[in-house]
DNA sequence: ATGAAAGCGCTAACAC
DNA sequence: GTGTTAGCGCTTTCAT
């Protein structure tokens, strides 16, 4: 292993000079800098991470805490994790992977052993045990999702309220006046992950604001559950022509069920998914969807964390606005079947 | 921060004694041990990871290299990653997450900076740039999947050849004599990830051995591609009654297509998936499937790595045998429609 | 603009 | 069975 002393000797300078050339923390004459950099390359020098961390009190490692067993959809998590790693690397940091099953104790462990400098915690629940721990630890953290008591913490999330409202507005704009939200299994609501409820809030408020019917029902992941839920829904509210799904696994089954019930998409029923793009695009017909911008959230999380590590202030709550991509599954309600060109409205 | 010196002082012993109590690397009198352990708890001592790594030349961190952009199915990767972390923790190791986009250079970086002690590399391709690097680095590694030139490396993978054969045997046992394998997109074959080809090998060999027809066709992820591929297939080989799918995203579309073409599953067509269990179970009808035992592979990878770190020999290649779970989608070919109880065969 | 040297907190000889 | 101490490789004062 080649050490900083080897480089210093090779370049004919002190080790501190090598260190300063590498860190840029003090001005070095161009000549010296060159010589050192040449030596670094010549010897293939790489600073020892442990030694550096020990001396500088900074490991340059971020902890990423991912949920272990969860109803959340996996591809999004993966995108997110990837974005975190990629962004961390841009700032010369690495990422330590922790699973949620270590719980609060796991956070303490890696923090107190100085393994990591900061935390990105995914899938934070409304009353999350880890929140008080994070507040206590002297390390900065960013939460994805947000807990009941978020004061003093940095949280980033999709603006699910806006997502719910966006769906209603899209469908209402298309002329639909009876909408339903097919949500996550009731267990997810009970787990109080927050996001499910916030979507519902946005959905309900927007429905009221637009003066349209907006009913909601949770739905389990089995085909039978979907069938039953939809039948019940259409029985109770036969006028429904717009469906919003926030429950990735049931998207396929839902389309099956509608087919089986003789409801064509989008002619008889407009369908809107809150889901990853690839899932929406894979369906027949392709689904209009509101995307969870996992990459953006992951990147933003790391940016915030780096800022905090540098002592810069960051907002307590960052809500990432949702985007709606219209595809084949949503269309105007009661369209006039006509071949005539639309009359141009004068002004 | 509480250090080993604090603990030593509190317990009235030397720092080395504290160290040895913690590591168990030399015998300590029960009395001393007790005193030290009490002090550790009393002070809430946690060894500093960097200092320990610097002194011991061991970071107790494993690198997990995950594919960034890939056609592989994500849930399985996630299961795998989870198993790696969980198992690593059992042996007091942590996991550093690397994405494949750092390439061979990323491996060198973390190895030469002593950030990690060993590598788990997922999604290894037949001619993987990282393989020569791994061979050069002085750190042990385990590859998931295996490259063309695997000598001297430790590889773990599902026995895809056996998986392909298992599918044929299952269907042949049920009386089917014309089978097709619906594979991954041709790009995956060209990327030479290996697993697609090995499944095909097992499939083809087993078909020959069983004297049944076994044709294969790649398939892209779009609905149209599935439709066309299946139509072509059934046109070319109208007698096919058994379908094996190794291509998770098209499973849903495939079932749609079969429905649309009027082929009932399993009455007219038995379908077998090589995929994660939850995907198979979510379909209608639930699919018989050969599972990729991600947890088992992930655990095995870490076990091998720990063994190597301890200097124990490990096999160069571990093939994890596939398991087939029969579900509703595969059934006997040309069953006698009868209500009579089956005659019991005497012996 | 550069060098010398004191740690960072721990492990592992080496002593006894 | 336990203590003493010399590093591990780097950063960062403190000097000059």
Q: Is A41 on the interface with B (CB under 8 A)?
A: no
In a domain, B202, yes or no: yes
Q: Kindly indicate the confidence band of residue A282, based on its pLDDT and cuts at 50, 70 and 90.
A: confident
The DSSP letter of residue B100 is: G
Query: Do B237 and B142 sit in the same domain of this protein?
Result: no
Mean pLDDT of A164-180: 96
Query: Do B166 and B144 sit in the same domain of this protein?
Result: no
User: Out of A23-32, A256-265, B151-160, B193-202, which region has the weakest mean confidence (pLDDT)?
Assistant: B193-202
Could you tell me the two tokens for B53? 């790594």
Mean pLDDT of B48-65: 98
In a domain, B133, yes or no: yes
Residue A44: its chain B contacts at CB < 8 A? 112
Helix A49-56 vs helix B49-56: crossing angle, to nearest 10:
140
Please tell me the distance from the alpha carbon of residue B146 to that of residue B195, in angstroms, as a whole number: 9
Query: Do A309 and A257 sit in the same domain of this protein?
Result: no
Q: Kindly indicate the confidence band of residue A152, based on its pLDDT and cuts at 50, 70 and 90.
A: confident
Residue B64, C-beta contacts closer than 8 angstroms, at least 6 positions apart? A97, B81, B84, B85, B95, B96, B97, B98, B120, B122
In a domain, A22, yes or no: yes
Residue A248 · residue B279 · CB < 8 Å: no
Q: Total structural domains in chain A? A: 3
Give the model confidence (pLDDT) of A225-271 as tens digits.
999 999 999 999 999 999 999 988 899 889 989 999 999 999 999 99
Three-state DSSP at B238 gives: coil
| Residue B306 scores a pLDDT above 50 | yes
Could you tell me the two tokens for A103? 């719980």
Mean pLDDT of A164-187: 93
Residue B5 CB in 7 A reach of strand D: no
Q: What is the CATH number of the domain that holds A9?
A: 1.10.260.40
Mean pLDDT of B163-170: 96
Secondary-structure breakdown of chain B: helix, strand, coil percentages, each rounded to the nearest 5: 45, 15, 40
The DSSP letter of residue B253 is: H
Residue A1: its chain B contacts at CB < 8 A? 112, 114
Query: Do A179 and A270 sit in the same domain of this protein?
Result: yes
> Inter-chain contact B282–A253, Cβ cutoff 8 Å?
yes
**Beta strands A288-291; B178-182: pairing state:** unpaired
Nearest to B137, CA basis, from A6, A39, A51, A44? A44
Please tell me the distance from the alpha carbon of residue A167 to that of residue A246, in angstroms, as a whole number: 11
Three-state DSSP at B217 gives: strand
Q: Is A302 on the interface with B (CB under 8 A)?
A: no
Q: Kindly indicate the confidence band of residue B9, based on its pLDDT and cuts at 50, 70 and 90.
A: very high
Give Cα separations from A324 to A55, A207, A269, A275 (angstroms). Answer: 49, 17, 18, 10
Q: What is the pLDDT of residue A278?
A: 77
Q: Is A284 on the interface with B (CB under 8 A)?
A: yes
Distance A55 CA to D15 C1' (A): 21
Q: What is the pLDDT of residue A336?
A: 43
> Inter-chain contact A110–B97, Cβ cutoff 8 Å?
no
Query: Do B164 and B253 sit in the same domain of this protein?
Result: yes
**Beta strands A317-320; A270-274: pairing state:** unpaired
Query: Do A164 and A284 sit in the same domain of this protein?
Result: yes
In a domain, A142, yes or no: yes
Three-state DSSP at A273 gives: strand
| Residue B87 scores a pLDDT above 80 | yes
Give Cα separations from A334 to A236, A273, A328 (angstroms). Answer: 21, 21, 16
**More confident position, B195 or A6:** A6
Residue A274 · residue A292 · CB < 8 Å: yes
The DSSP letter of residue B263 is: -
Q: Kindly indicate the confidence band of residue B168, based on its pLDDT and cuts at 50, 70 and 90.
A: very high
Mean pLDDT of B207-234: 93
Q: Kindly indicate the confidence band of residue B281, based on its pLDDT and cuts at 50, 70 and 90.
A: confident
Query: Do A192 and A270 sit in the same domain of this protein?
Result: yes
> Inter-chain contact B96–A94, Cβ cutoff 8 Å?
yes
Distance between first and last Cα of chain A: 79
| Residue A347 scores a pLDDT above 70 | no
Q: What is the pLDDT of residue B149?
A: 77
> Inter-chain contact B252–A223, Cβ cutoff 8 Å?
no
**CB-based burial label for B322 (10 Å; 0-12, 13-18, 19+):** buried
Nearest to A305, CA basis, from A139, A157, A115? A139
Could you tell me the two tokens for B45? 């001592």
Mean pLDDT of A162-166: 96
In a domain, A31, yes or no: yes
Name the residue facing B64 among A74, A97, A110 (closest C-beta): A97
Mean pLDDT of A200-216: 96
| Residue B79 scores a pLDDT above 80 | yes
Measured CA to C1', the nucleotide nearest A54 is C8
Strand partners, B286: none
In a domain, A54, yes or no: no
Residue A30, C-beta contacts closer than 8 angstroms, at least 6 positions apart? none
Helix B294-309 vs helix B74-90: crossing angle, to nearest 10:
40
**Per residue, what are the HEC states of A66-107?**
ECCCCCCCHHHHHHHHHHHHHHHHHCCCEEEEEEHHHHHHHH
Q: What is the pLDDT of residue B123?
A: 85
DSSP state letters, A186-200: HHHHHTT-SHHHHHH
Could you tell me the two tokens for B297? 């592979």
Q: What is the pLDDT of residue B248?
A: 83
In a domain, A336, yes or no: no
Mean pLDDT of B6-34: 95
Residue whose Cα is closest to the C1' of D13:
A16
Q: What percent of chain A has pLDDT over 90?
A: 73
Cis amide prior to A53 (ω within 30 degrees):
no
Q: Is A114 on the interface with B (CB under 8 A)?
A: yes
Q: What is the pLDDT of residue A192?
A: 53
Calculate Rg over the CA atoms of chain A.
Answer: 26
User: Out of A286-290, B333-337, B341-345, which region has the weakest mean confidence (pLDDT)?
Assistant: B341-345
**More confident position, A6 or A347:** A6
Mean pLDDT of B318-338: 82
| Residue A304 scores a pLDDT above 50 | yes
Query: Do A165 and A267 sit in the same domain of this protein?
Result: yes
State whether the Cα torsion A156-A157-A158-A160 is positive or negative. Answer: negative
Q: What is the pLDDT of residue A85?
A: 97
Neighbours of A286 (CB within 10 A): 18
Mean pLDDT of A152-178: 94
Residue A80 · residue A122 · CB < 8 Å: yes
Average pLDDT over all residues of chain B:
90
Q: What is the pLDDT of residue A126?
A: 79
Mean pLDDT of A319-331: 93
In a domain, B344, yes or no: no
Query: Do A83 and A102 sit in the same domain of this protein?
Result: yes
Give the model confidence (pLDDT) of A73-127 as tens digits.
677 888 899 999 999 999 999 999 999 999 999 999 999 999 999 999 998 887 8
Average pLDDT over all residues of chain A:
90
Nearest to A304, CA basis, from A322, A320, A323? A320
| Residue B238 scores a pLDDT above 50 | yes
Strand partners, A63: A96, A119
Residue A23 CB in 7 A reach of strand D: yes
Query: Do A143 and A212 sit in the same domain of this protein?
Result: no
Residue B95: its chain A contacts at CB < 8 A? 96-97
Range of the domain at B117: 61-158+294-322
Q: What is the pLDDT of residue A191?
A: 53
User: Out of A65-74, A328-337, B248-257, which region has the weakest mean confidence (pLDDT)?
Assistant: A65-74
Residue B122 · residue B188 · CB < 8 Å: no
- What are the start-end ranges of the E strands in B112-233? 118-121, 141-144, 155-158, 178-182, 213-217
Query: Do B121 and B214 sit in the same domain of this protein?
Result: no
Three-state DSSP at A9 gives: helix
Residue A330 · residue A166 · CB < 8 Å: no
**Beta strands B242-245; A270-274: pairing state:** unpaired
Give the model confidence (pLDDT) of B184-210 as tens digits.
887 665 555 577 888 999 999 999 999
Q: Kindly indicate the confidence band of residue B278, based on its pLDDT and cuts at 50, 70 and 90.
A: confident
Residue A81 · residue A63 · CB < 8 Å: no
Q: Kindly indicate the confidence band of residue A189, based on its pLDDT and cuts at 50, 70 and 90.
A: low
Nearest chain B residue to A54 by CA: give it: B50
> Inter-chain contact A82–B68, Cβ cutoff 8 Å?
yes
State whether the Cα torsion B118-B193-B197-B321 is positive or negative. Answer: positive
> Inter-chain contact B110–A89, Cβ cutoff 8 Å?
no
Please tell me the distance from the alpha carbon of residue A309 to that of residue A296, in angstroms, as a whole number: 20
Gap from B47 CA to chain A (nearest CA, Å): 6
Kindly state the helix (H) or strand (E) to which residue A308 belongs, with its residue range.
helix A294-309
Sole residue written with tokens 């001619």: B127
Q: What is the pLDDT of residue A343?
A: 40
Residue B183 · residue B217 · CB < 8 Å: yes
Could you tell me the two tokens for B100? 């494949």
Three-state DSSP at A111 gives: helix
Q: What is the CATH number of the domain that holds A81?
A: 3.40.50.2300
**CB-based burial label for B126 (10 Å; 0-12, 13-18, 19+):** middle
Query: Do A69 and A104 sit in the same domain of this protein?
Result: yes
DSSP state letters, A126-178: TT-THHHHHHHSSS-EEEES--S--TTSEEEEE-HHHHHHHHHHHHHHTT--E
Calculate Rg over the CA atoms of chain B.
Answer: 26
What number of residues does chain A have? 347
Three-state DSSP at B333 gives: coil
**More confident position, B292 or B217:** B217
**Domain boundary pick from B274, B291, B308:** B291
Please tell me the distance from the alpha carbon of residue B288 to that of residue B329, in angstroms, as a whole number: 6
Residue A4 CB in 7 A reach of strand D: yes
């Amino acid at each position: 292993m080649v050490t900083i002393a080897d480089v210093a000797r090779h370049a004919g300078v002190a080790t501190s000079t090598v260190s300063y050339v590498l860190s840029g923390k003090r001005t070095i004459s161009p000549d010296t800098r060159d010589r050192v950099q040449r030596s670094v390359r010549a010897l293939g020098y790489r600073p020892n991470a442990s030694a550096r961390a020990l001396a500088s009190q900074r490991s340059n490692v971020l902890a990423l805490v991912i949920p272990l067993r969860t109803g959340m959809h996996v591809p999004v998590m993966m995108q997110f994790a990837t974005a975190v790693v990629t962004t961390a690397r841009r700032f010369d940091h690495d990422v330590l992977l922790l699973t949620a099953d270590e719980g609060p104790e796991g956070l303490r462990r890696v923090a107190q052993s100085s393994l990591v400098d900061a935390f990105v915690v995914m899938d934070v629940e409304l009353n999350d045990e880890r929140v008080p721990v994070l507040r206590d630890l002297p390390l900065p953290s960013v939460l994805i999702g947000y807990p009941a008591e978020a004061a003093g913490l940095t949280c980033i999330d999709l603006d699910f309220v806006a997502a719910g409202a966006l769906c209603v507005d899209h469908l209402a704009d298309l002329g639909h006046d009876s909408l339903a939200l097919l949500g996550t299994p009731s267990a997810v609501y009970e787990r109080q992950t927050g996001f499910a409820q916030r979507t519902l809030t946005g959905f309900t408020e927007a429905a009221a604001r637009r003066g349209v019917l907006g009913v909601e029902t949770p739905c389990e992941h089995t085909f039978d559950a979907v069938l039953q839920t939809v039948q019940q829904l259409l029985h109770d509210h036969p006028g429904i022509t717009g469906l919003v799904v926030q429950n990735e696994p049931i998207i396929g089954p839902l389309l099956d069920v509608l087919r089986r019930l003789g409801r064509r998409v989008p002619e008889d029923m407009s369908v809107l998914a809150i889901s990853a793009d690839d899932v929406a695009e894979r369906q027949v017909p392709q689904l209009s969807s509101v995307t969870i911008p996992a990459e953006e959230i992951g990147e933003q999380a790391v940016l915030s964390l780096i800022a905090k590590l540098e002592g810069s202030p960051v907002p307590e709550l960052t809500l990432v606005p949702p985007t709606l991509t219209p595809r084949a599954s949503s269309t105007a309600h009661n369209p006039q079947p006509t071949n005539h060109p639309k009359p141009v409205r004068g002004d």
